[in-house]
Amino acid sequence: MRTATPTSIAPTDGRPLPANRIVTTLSSDLLVIGAGATGLGVAWDATLRGLSVTVVEQGDLGQGTSGRYHGLLHSGARYVVSDPASAADCARENEVVRRLVPHAVEPTGGYFLSTDDDPPDYVDRWLAGCRGAGVAVEELDPAQVMRQEPLVTPRLARAFAVSDAALDSFELLHALARGVRASRGSVLLRHRVTGLVPHGGGMLARIVSLRDEVALQLAAPWVVNAAGPFVGVVAAMAGVHLPLALGKGTMVAMTSRLTQTVLNRCKPPHDGDIIVPVGTVCVLGTTDVPVRAPTDLTIEPWEIDLLIREGQALIPTLRRHRPLRAWAGVRALYRPADDRAPTRDLPRAHVLIDHAPEGLPGFLTILGGKLTTFRRMAQDIVDRVSERPCTTAITPLPAEERRFYRLGESLRRPPPTQSRPERLVCECEGVTASQVEAALAESGSDDLDDLRRDLRLGMGPCQGAFCTYRAAAAVAATLPDVPLDGGLSAFFRERWRGIRPLAWGRGLRQADILRRIQIEALGADPVDEVVR
């Protein structure tokens, strides 16, 4: 049942809005719901075509599925057999993304490795698929691969080079947000759409700030629902039921960079078939588990065991290394009611749904797709909205002025200019005091988890045991009205979630050291609501 007037919209979280809140009504040509790669890609494309755009995101940049992936810029080779159209898309967009955000891409290259245990006939089908989809591939002598990557299994039957790369999605999202803002679009973080109704040929959205609960209304002739795993929730607000399959993928980062090149198993897509070097770590991906809710990010021990076991087919000594952290992302794939295939086998190509036939002109939902092809998806959507030509493939995104190195990227870029020695806050990831100050000034957020996403603070081997207190001190010194512990307890709780699935062996030792430092040495206590 759709409601007719905006005043009767009920917030989805069940709490009625205070009646005395001032409700401002704004308008844009386009409202985008969700600031993942897809949503920001749409917004950036639309601003380049001269539209006024507002993006609403309930979390921080990178807090959703785009920030919860394995870090791979696909060459397309993974999908040449199962989904050739996606593979071709990936191969084309791989080139484009490298041009758009060179600072977010590490050109590691990738290998597809067929081991003695893998089905040999698959290799030929795969090679034919690569040719058909236009995915560049070069066969290598396995001995050459082993010289290049000494930890790789010696049981290699055949080896191929592809143009995989590591893509830092946090950098990509920040670059897109800068692009949107540079063209006077707005990106509202920590705002949630709580109601969506037809309005004068377009839609009217009610939006609430999750920080101060101030509400506003936004009228737009076009609304793009790019809420990732939450697309169903957003569509339901407008009275539309979407048949979805939600799939959770879990990834594990190992403490060291055990490979310099992306390693793929050359066999049909399966759990745990890839290792991606990212910064100082390498990431094992992924599992695929059906889940009921977009917030169901719980990682189970068997997923970790499976990723390490499968990873050992590529790097036999993997078990001797320490898993550092685990995370999971949820993706929504479109599944018509009669389809019962496992989510891994659903098409990865994106699905664009126009809700006009349901009486909601101007309301579009985008789901599926891959981070690598975000720009192409955005183009398809904005083509519906604007007659003007798409220019995203030839417009580089504004690069951040980089003042500091990040670990793992040194020597590939011109040195940042630096006038004085810097004090370190986080030794593991090389985060300096002035970076923390700059990030706090820019975001105004006292959430240390936002600093983590901006700076990688607390993501290294000690998982925040040492830097959390220092960062909390900076928060307390910089921002007004922050928790009395500078947000330390909340961040500690958040880190604990990522550590739990890896709490055995040396991982458990590290977890206990972390807990002892926060609680016994520093005196963290569970009361984190106390605000100064």
Partner 1 sequence: MTRSVIVVGAGLTGLYASILAARRGAQVLLVAQGRGGLALSHGCIDVWHDGDVRFSFRNLDPAHPLAGLGMAVFQAALTEFLDIVQEAGLPYAGGLDRPMRLPRALGTIRTTAAAPVTLAAGSLDDKTPIHMADLRGFRDFSANLAAGRLRTQGVPIGGVVELPLAEVGARDAYAHELAGAFDDPGYRAEVCSTWKPLLRGVRRLGLPAVLGTSDPTQVVADLEAGLGVDIFEIPTLPPSLPGLRLERALRHRASSIGVDVVEGPSVRGEIDGRSAGRRVSGVVAATAGGPRAFRADTVLLATGGPAHAGWMSFANGEVQDSVFGLPVDAPDDREAWTSPDPFESQPYARFGLRLDSRRHPCDRRGRPYFENLFAAGGLLAGADRTLEGSRQVIDLATAFAAVEAMLR
In sequence order, which residues have a C-beta less than 8 Å from that of residue 204 and are 6 or more positions away? 6, 196, 197, 198, 217, 218, 219
Part in contact with partner 1 (CB under 8 A); list of ranges 196-204, 373-381, 389-397, 513-521: 513-521
The least CB distance from residue 505 to partner 1, in Å, is: 6
Instruction: Determine if residue 88 is left, alpha or beta; phi over 0 gives left, psi from -120 to 50 gives alpha, anything else beta.
Output: alpha
> Residue 500: in which H helix or E strand, if any?
none
The least CB distance from residue 229 to partner 1, in Å, is: 21
List binders of partner 1 among 416-435 (CB under 8 A). 420-425, 433
Q: Return d(Cα 392, Cα 375) in angstroms, integer.
A: 7
- Between the alpha carbon of residue 506 and those of residues 208, 321, 327, 400, 477, the distances in Å are 43, 9, 18, 37, 35
The least CB distance from residue 20 to partner 1, in Å, is: 31
List binders of partner 1 among 483-502 (CB under 8 A). 484-486, 488-489, 492-493, 496-497, 500-501
Burial class of residue 310 (count of CB atoms within 10 Å of its CB; 0-12, 13-18, 19+): buried
The least CB distance from residue 321 to partner 1, in Å, is: 12
Are residues 197 and 7 in contact, defined by beta-carbon separation less than 8 angstroms?
Answer: no
Q: E strands along 340-430, which residues?
A: 351-354, 363-367, 424-426
Map residues 270-309 to x or -, x wherever contact with partner 1 holds by CB under 8 A.
------------------------------xx---x--x-
Q: E strands along 455-530, which residues?
A: none
Phi and psi angles of residue 509, each rounded to the nearest 5 degrees, phi first: -60, -45
- Does residue 524 interact with partner 1 by CB under 8 A? yes
The least CB distance from residue 324 to partner 1, in Å, is: 15
- Does residue 451 interact with partner 1 by CB under 8 A? no
Part in contact with partner 1 (CB under 8 A); list of ranges 12-20, 126-134, 197-205, 511-519: 511-519
Taking the least distance from each CB to partner 1, the nearer of 96 and 484 is 484
Which DSSP state fits 531?
B
Which of 2, 99, 388, 509 forms a contact with partner 1 (CB under 8 A)? 509
Taking the least distance from each CB to partner 1, the nearer of 374 and 466 is 466
Amino acid at 522: L
List binders of partner 1 among 299-358 (CB under 8 A). 300-301, 305, 308, 319
Which DSSP state fits 77?
G
> How many residues bind partner 1, per CB under 8 A?
52
Map residues 383-422 to x or -, x wherever contact with partner 1 holds by CB under 8 A.
-------------------------------------xxx
In sequence order, which residues have a C-beta less than 8 Å from that of residue 74 and are 6 or more positions away? 90, 94, 164, 370, 372
Q: Which stretches of the chain bind partner 1, using CB under 8 A?
A: 300-301, 305, 308, 319, 420-425, 433, 466, 469-470, 472-473, 476-477, 484-486, 488-489, 492-493, 496-497, 500-501, 503-505, 508-509, 511-513, 515-526, 530, 532
